[in-house]
């Protein structure tokens, strides 16, 4: 055996051990709050919404008074601050209903297991490479701070990540309508993939976008029927309050441009550039288009947290599958480091890193403009 494969295998093994150690250390640090109190997670807020729906009716799930009452019961002595609100769409509460029978602590650990399973399933569907190299993508995901932070909070990010990965896999398999229907399930946390359907539509993959629209419309319609006029009024009130919470926009362009009109204009401009990029890349593969939609969403979001960057794990996998130049692949390391150190370094490095990645994706790859657009 030549020395080159041996060195490569040793290098991969060394990297795997480094990532495993990093994952263990980061997980130990990130999970300290929930190890002390498993109810100290965002899932508790979803659990509260589900409990209110079961006990008081779904039209009351956004009642601030009822949320406060149940929060006090579940976490006596904990402050009911402006970040302690159930604000997710009703389908997430419905998804959590089976977990209400095992209590808030049991619900968190059950959700953690389900989230890990969703991440592994998404990796199985979408990660590039083979053998040990492919395994490194999963270990790397589990070592990344935004992913572990999302898991520690009981966030639905892994569910959305799996839905988008499955949608890409189904689309590649020539089942665009089913892909769009699965993509519609991302509405449990819509900001993570909100730009993707528009990118697919402009790129000519209208069947996926149409199926997404139908699924999203059905879920929205059922949700509106369930919560009624009172629930909608309560929801709008909570959203208005959420817009004034600095933490909800800390990892968005508002960090640079302020929370006023300018940041919304910039977000709209990025969305418009993403659509231009989608048209220019209309002959590209689905992996590139899905990556463009996810990265554009992360950069143009007006409501975003550090844990939401976990969706970029899937974007990285699909980006690698598109066979970009080596120097563009290397930029993923910059994105990863900026996300890993986002708290001490501020949001600026991660926003810049994603903006550069976004620029890579807007400009068509040299092999991405065949004479005929692939079938949707």
pLDDT tens string 112-126: 999 999 999 999 999
- Name the domain count of the chain: 1
Instruction: Answer yes or no: is 367 within a domain.
Output: no
- Average pLDDT, integer, range 125-130: 94
Instruction: Answer yes or no: is 189 within a domain.
Output: yes
Q: How confident is the model at residue 373 (pLDDT cuts 50, 70, 90)?
A: very low
User: pLDDT for 5-31, tens place per residue?
Assistant: 656 666 767 777 788 888 899 889 999
Q: How many CB atoms lie within 10 A of CB 117?
A: 12
pLDDT at 369 over 70: no
Instruction: Answer yes or no: is 374 within a domain.
Output: no
Per-residue confidence (pLDDT) for residue 75, from 0 to 100: 92
User: pLDDT for 193-251, tens place per residue?
Assistant: 999 999 999 999 999 999 999 999 999 999 999 999 999 999 999 999 988 888 899 99
Instruction: Answer yes or no: is 5 within a domain.
Output: no
pTM over 0.85: yes
What are 178's two structure tokens? 């089913």
Instruction: Answer yes or no: is 369 within a domain.
Output: no
C-alpha pair distances (Å), 95 with each of 16, 89, 352: 35, 11, 35
Q: How many CB atoms lie within 10 A of CB 200?
A: 29
Q: How far apart are CA 212 and CA 132, in angstroms?
A: 35
CA atoms within 13 A of residue 324's CA, in its CB half-sphere: 23
The parent domain of residue 343 ranges over 11-362
Instruction: Answer yes or no: is 312 within a domain.
Output: yes
Per-residue confidence (pLDDT) for residue 375, from 0 to 100: 45
Contact between residue 163 and residue 185 where contact means Cβ atoms under 8 Å apart: yes
């Amino acid at each position: 055996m030549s020395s080159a494969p041996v060195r490569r295998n040793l290098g991969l093994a060394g990297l795997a051990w480094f990532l495993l150690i990093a994952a263990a250390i980061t997980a130990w640090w990130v999970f300290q709050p929930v190890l002390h109190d498993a109810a100290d997670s965002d899932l508790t807020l979803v659990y509260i919404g589900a409990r209110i729906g079961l006990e008081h009716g779904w039209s009351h799930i956004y009642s601030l008074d009822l949320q406060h009452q149940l929060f006090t019961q579940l976490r006596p002595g904990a402050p009911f601050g402006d970040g302690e609100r159930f604000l997710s769409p009703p389908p997430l509460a419905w998804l959590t209903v089976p977990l209400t029978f095992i209590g808030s602590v049991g619900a968190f650990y059950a959700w953690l297991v389900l989230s890990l399973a969703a991440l592994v399933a998404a990796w199985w569907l979408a990660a590039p490479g083979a053998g040990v190299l492919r395994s490194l993508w999963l270990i790397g995901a589990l070592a990344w701070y935004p992913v572990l932070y999302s898991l520690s909070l009981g966030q639905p990010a892994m569910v959305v990540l799996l839905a988008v990965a499955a949608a890409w896999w189904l689309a590649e398999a020539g089942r665009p309508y089913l892909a769009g229907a699965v993509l519609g399930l991302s509405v449990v946390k819509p900001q993570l993939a909100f730009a993707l359907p528009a990118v697919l539509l402009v790129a000519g993959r209208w069947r996926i976008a149409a199926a997404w629209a139908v699924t999203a419309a059905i879920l929205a319609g059922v949700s509106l029927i369930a919560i009624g006029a009172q629930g909608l009024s309560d929801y709008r009130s909570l959203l208005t309050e959420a817009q004034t919470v600095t933490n909800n926009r800390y990892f968005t362009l508002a960090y640079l441009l302020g929370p006023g009109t300018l940041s919304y204009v910039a977000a709209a401009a990025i969305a418009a550039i993403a659509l231009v990029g989608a048209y220019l890349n209309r002959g590209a593969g689905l992996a590139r288009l899905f990556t463009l939609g996810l990265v554009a969403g992360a950069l143009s979001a007006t409501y975003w947290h550090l844990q939401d960057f976990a969706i970029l794990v899937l974007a990285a996998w699909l980006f690698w599958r598109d066979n970009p130049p080596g120097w563009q692949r290397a930029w993923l390391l910059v994105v990863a480091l900026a996300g890993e150190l986002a708290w001490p370094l501020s949001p600026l490095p991660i926003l810049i890193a994603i903006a550069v990645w976004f620029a890579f994706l807007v400009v068509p790859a040299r092999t991405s403009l065949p004479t005929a657009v692939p079938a949707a």
